[in-house]
A and B are shown apart, each in its own frame.
Chain A
Amino acid sequence: MPIRIVVLTKPVPDPAAAAERLGPDGRLDRAASPAVINGNDEYTLEAALKLTDALGGEVTLLAMAPAGGLDTMRKGLAMGAHRGVLVTDPALAGSDQWSTMQVLAAALKTLEYDLVLAGFDTSDGVGGVVGAGLAALLKLPLMSSAAKIEPDVDAGTVRVRRISPTGFDVLEAPMPALIVGTQLLGEPRYPSLKGIMAARSKEVLTRSLADLRLDPATVGGAATRTKVTGSTKPPARGATQVVRGTPDEGAQAIVELLASRRLI
């Protein structure tokens, strides 16, 4: 029996490009930072694609991003997602976690799904709270830190392995449910050439705040309830001491440093 899955895929500044900086307004200067799909979202996308490969069904990508988020979404479509929904609106620039939850919840209300998948956190802000917030707003069961996802579509339930400090817990809930996934879901596939070609013609719906019947006075940059008050580059670390020599000399250098800093 086919399954319908929505995967949240946030475009984030490419960590490898290391070009992130804030503009004078304290917001990310997106023009300076090439975007990629958030790394942790690729694991959940891979899990969704494996499920629809096995069961049939549809994977919908959902992102809230500037209009350029369309290009980032194409990669997820090239990996095999069936369609995309991009919520984009100039009024959304500068949204905080609270606004992000409201907007994504409103967008999810326009979609039909059995599962919503979110990544463990994003590489830019490392918050990891939006998935839980969405589950509460939409009154969906929240299944987080997932290492394995096993839906039983006929029974309308899903089991998730949730990582624990010593192993894992097996969670069970009725669908629809919201699952926050981890890297243990499996290595994301690379888009095939065929997938890249097919992605060009896949449907991406764009939605504005007006389309979602949301008021820019209550969500987005104008309604932000948190503000960045300062930013600094982290202090440079001290010079590196390099020791080349015998293993004993290397070990002694380590012990001396540890002793001088009272670490042993």
Chain B
Amino acid sequence: MAGSTGAIWVIAETNADGSLAKSSAEVATLARNLAEEAGVSAAGIVVAADPAAAAKELAGYVGRVVAVTEPAAAGNAWSVVAAQRAAAVLADAAPTAVLTGAGPDGRDVAGTLGALLERPILVNATAIDWEHGPSVAMSVFGGKLNTTSAFGEGEWGIVTVRPNVVTAEAAPSAGTVEQATPAGDLTLPAVKVVEHVQEAAAALPIEEARTIVAGGRGVGGEEGFALVREIAAALGGAVGATRAAVDSGWIPYAQQIGQTGKIVKPQLYLALGISGAIQHKVGMQTAGTIIGVNRDPDAPIAEFAGLVVVGDLFEVGKALLSELKARG
């Protein structure tokens, strides 16, 4: 985007305790790296009832943070409130680009912001380079094709970024935090949160995990997932699952990987009793190292795993646990 001098902005998400979401630290790192290439600055926005903690953390990654204290961000669905306040900040900022996460909240922010500021959107970036503007790499058609896209001539736009495509890395020196009081009414309808229901102890989110141990139909039941969890714990990883395992009620939907679940990119993916059907493959095929343990040597996972151990997943799994324990 020739001539653009505004910052590359990130709109940050917070955790339930008010801290900065890990995915937002990653997106902020990407924004800073991109800004360096583009010769512009990197900046961030936090919108929350109490943005102080996340804003301070975010300033560890970008040079300037605008912290918007918005009471309505508590008690209402966050994304639309945040997008409206972010839009007000960005309207006068002439940004070079705006980045959000590609998770449920990030995509809601991006879509809302695109509509409010009348800006184009590129989605689900697996990488962003700078070539006279952001050059956005995406994986489309279930990973069958990698594309790069750009905004039109003279346009700035919004990009949603997948988790785990960059490693969060603090800047050499911390940036500044500016407090902003929201001006004007929220014009989009609010959506009340009438109840928070806690169903399970917070599992390590699979989108953020460097190691995932996943179970499929072959795990056979809830009891089987106990072994999957044990192996995941031994490897310091998260537990994932196929749709068949989720549909059977063995594990919550939040843990589902694949076409109608989450798309993950861990360094290690250990698949136990997973055949590797296309619907699952699209969610994990970009993992660094893929290992399958499966009774069926002809299962599709053998076409894209680095290692397939043919055998009973419980026997191999237990042997693996003792090997890992023996190594300490």
Contacts and interface: CB of A to CB of B under 8 A. Distances in A.
B142 to A, nearest CB: 5
B172 interface: no
Determine which residue in B135, B202, B288, B306 has the highest number of CB atoms from chain A within 10 A of its CB, and name it. B306
17 contacts: A13-B141, A22-B147, A121-B107, A127-B124, A127-B160, A129-B107, A129-B123, A132-B108, A140-B189, A142-B108, A170-B193, A226-B157, A231-B146, A234-B143, A240-B307, A248-B323, A254-B323
Contacts of B192: 171-173
A118 B316 CA distance: 43
Interface stretch (B55-63, B173-181, B254-262): B254-262
Interface string A1-31: 0000000000001011010111000100000
Given A133-B111, A167-B196, A240 B205 contact: no
Given A166-B199, A229-B150, A129 B121 contact: yes
Interface in A108-159: 120-121, 123-137, 139-145, 147, 159
B139 interface: yes
Given A142-B191, A143-B191, A137 B323 contact: no
Contacts of B291: 254, 257
Given A226-B152, A242-B310, 13 more contacts: A123-B141, A127-B160, A135-B188, A142-B79, A165-B202, A169-B77, A231-B145, A232-B145, A232-B146, A240-B305, A254-B307, A257-B307, A258-B289
Nearest to B314: A247
Interface of B: 16, 77, 79-80, 83, 102, 104, 107-112, 114-116, 118-124, 135, 138-152, 155, 157, 160, 187-202, 205, 211, 235, 243, 247, 253-254, 256, 259-261, 263, 267-268, 270, 278-279, 282, 285-286, 288-291, 293, 297, 302-312, 315-316, 318-320, 322-324, 327
B123 A125 contact: yes
B194 A165 contact: no
Interface stretch (A79-87, A96-104, A191-199): A96-104
Interface of A: 13, 15-16, 18, 20-22, 26, 39-40, 43, 96-98, 101, 120-121, 123-137, 139-145, 147, 159, 162-174, 177, 180, 182-184, 187, 224-234, 237-238, 240-245, 247-248, 250-255, 257-258, 261, 263-264
Question: Chain B CB within 10 Å — which of A121, A124, A247 has the most?
Answer: A247
Given A101-B114, A240-B303, A142 B119 contact: no
A120 B320 CA distance: 37
Contacts of B121: 96-98, 127, 129, 133, 226
Top 5 nearest A-B pairs by Cβ distance? A132-B111, A127-B123, A167-B199, A136-B115, A129-B111
Contacts of A258: 268, 289
B254 A132 contact: no
Which applies to chain A's interface (DSSP): helix, strand, loop or mixed?
mixed
A247 B140 contact: no
Contacts of B111: 101, 128-136
Given A127-B124, A141-B189, A97 B144 contact: no
Contacts, number: 301
B123 A124 contact: no
Nearest to A127: B123
Contact of B196 (A144, A164, A177): A164
A264 B110 CA distance: 37
Nearest to A243: B309
A255 B323 contact: yes
Contacts of A124: 140-141
Contact of A144 (B108, B286, B302): B108
B197 A169 contact: yes
B195 A120 contact: no
Nearest to B308: A242
